[in-house]
Each structure stands twice: as structure tokens, then as C-alpha cells.
Amino acid sequence: MDSDLFSRRRAARFAQLLDEANGGRRHHVRSRADDQLTALVAVGRRLVDERPDVEVDQEFRTGLRAMLMATAEREGVGVTAGTATGTTPATATSRGSLLGAVTARQVRARGAILVGIAAGAVALSGISAASEDAVPGDALYGMKRSTERAQLALASSDLGRGQLFLDFARTRLDEAATLHGDLAGFSAVLDDMDADTRQGIRLLTTTAAQRSDPAGLDAVNTFVAGQRRAVTGLLDGASRAERDRTRRSLTLLDTIRERSDALRAAIACELPAPAASDALGPAPASCPADR
């Protein structure tokens, strides 16, 4: 999704598509962004149509309403042409009708977007809550993974994204525990778990090396210790093939711990940030023997 998604022209077209999807009159125009915007409208419709019977927390509703009211005030939703420009009918007769029409369209576009955001947020909150315990094969598992991607997109830093990836790796581990006896599903979830682990570790180790701060490595070591214990638990009652696949994940965790210790040592002896890097992030050199 590019950064100008909600530019005025695209926002107005998005509002038209929302209006059409909800039974409004059809606008005989096309935009180069229609394919992307139509996909977003379809997602919104699907969220509403497939909304589970989940009660949305009243505190969430109150917070959402406050956010929407603040956004409406900031964006000028509901502001008349005269108020928006500081003019009066006596001083703006020649341009008042045109400006009023433009402002009205902007108000409708922004209002439609706010309505779409509100409906989508409420629907998404309910579906996300219902999908938390979904496992591969469940109808809501795709929504669960989409919610994770949304969390990553909203994270404000590499450190935050790294920690999220490790949280997702823990979630994949919980899912794997429900898939004993299904080798294909079990292996696929562990593949995803290891991928999330690598992504998170790479972000955390890179941040630690760039800042010469081992604090991020503390999070790495804590994750490895807890995750290793939990992954070892998958060996109980597993088939031979499942045990072989599980040991690959254990080997990855051991390699991560070695990398973390090497980076910590490099930071302690004040080596510059490593230039070499791999799937686990910076690959540090050894400290000189005389340090």
C-alpha cells in the first residue's frame, strides 16, 4: 500500500466505491487506483459479512468514537463552505456555489471514509478476537495471520517489529503442538515459526549492533531460553519424522544463542558494527586476543 493512498483524489474515489458497494448510485468514472481501491472495498465488505457474534468491548467503542470525532474535527468533516473559508454570503457570491459544491464532495468523501474506517475497525476487532485461537485449517486462520501483518505494519520501530516477530514465533509453536500426527501441517507451521524467528532475531541483533547496546540481546536470550524449552516439549509423543523436524528448530535456536553471545562480546570490546550479515543479522568478528 503506497503512501499516497489517502490523497484527496484517491480518497474521493474510495468514497465513491464505498458508496456504490452500499447500494449508492454508480459513478461513471475510472481511476488508475481502482484495482487497489476495489480490493480494499471488498475486504471491508467481507469483514462486515463474515463478522462473528463477538461483543465489542465498550471501552473500545468509546475510544473509537473519540478518535473518529477528533479526526472529523481535524479534517473539517461537516464544516460549511463559509466556515471553512472565513467568507460570508455577501462577500463570496461569485464563488460560493462552486466552493460549496467542492466542499460538499469533500465532506461526503471524508465522511464515507470515516464510516468505512469505523465499520472496518469494529468488524476487525471482533474477527481478530475470534481468530486468536485459530489453527491452520480453520476458517479464521487467514484473518489471524492478516492481523499479525497489520501489527507489523503499525509497529513504530525495528525493535518493536523484532519483538512482534518473536511473539508470532511463540504463537506458531503453540499451533504446532495441536498438529501432531499431521506431518505436513506440523512441518509447515515449524517452517513459519523458524522464519518468524529469523526475522525477529535479525531485527533485534541489527539494532543492538547499530546502537552498540546489548539490551536488545537480552530479549534475544530470554526468547531463546523459553522457546527452546517449549520446542523440546514437542519431542514428547512425536513420530520419528516429527522429532527430526523439531531438532532442526532446536539447532536454529542454539545458533541464535551463539550469535547473540558473539555480538555481546563484540560490543563489550568496542568493535565497530559488523559489515557482514546473514539471516540472523550482523556476523561479528572475534575480539582481539589482547583485549
Structural domain includes residue 290: no
Query: How far is it, in rounded angstroms, from Cα 73 to Cα 31?
Result: 28
67 with 118, same domain?
yes
124 with 153, same domain?
no
137: left (phi over 0), alpha (psi -120 to 50) or beta: left
160 with 274, same domain?
yes
Structural domain includes residue 1: no
Structural domain includes residue 170: yes
Tens-digit pLDDT profile for residues 216-244: 899 999 999 999 999 999 999 999 999 99
Query: How far is it, in rounded angstroms, from Cα 19 to Cα 24?
Result: 5
Structural domain includes residue 172: yes
Structural domain includes residue 40: yes
81 with 207, same domain?
no
Using the predicted structure, report yes or no on whether residue 204 has a pLDDT greater than 90: yes
Q: Which of 11-20, 61-70, 199-208 has the lowest mean pLDDT?
A: 61-70
107 with 230, same domain?
no
213: left (phi over 0), alpha (psi -120 to 50) or beta: beta
> What is the count of structural domains for the chain?
2
pTM for the structure as a whole: 0.59
Structural domain includes residue 288: no
Question: Domain range for residue 27?
Answer: 8-131
Residue that finishes a domain, picked among 131, 165, 183: 131
Tens-digit pLDDT profile for residues 87-129: 555 554 555 554 555 555 555 555 555 555 544 544 444 555 5
231 with 261, same domain?
yes
Using the predicted structure, report yes or no on whether residue 14 has a pLDDT greater than 50: yes
221 with 111, same domain?
no
Residue that finishes a domain, picked among 108, 131, 154: 131
Residue that finishes a domain, picked among 94, 112, 131: 131
H/E stretch holding 281 reads strand 281-282
Structural domain includes residue 56: yes
Residue ranges of alpha helices (H) inside the chain are 8-21, 34-49, 58-75, 81-85, 96-131, 141-154, 158-176, 183-211, 215-233, 240-268
44 with 125, same domain?
yes
152 with 271, same domain?
yes
81 with 171, same domain?
no
CA distances, 79 to each of 64, 68, 220 (Å): 21, 15, 51
Burial class, 278, CB count within 10 angstroms (exposed 0-12 / middle 13-18 / buried 19+): exposed
Burial class, 240, CB count within 10 angstroms (exposed 0-12 / middle 13-18 / buried 19+): exposed
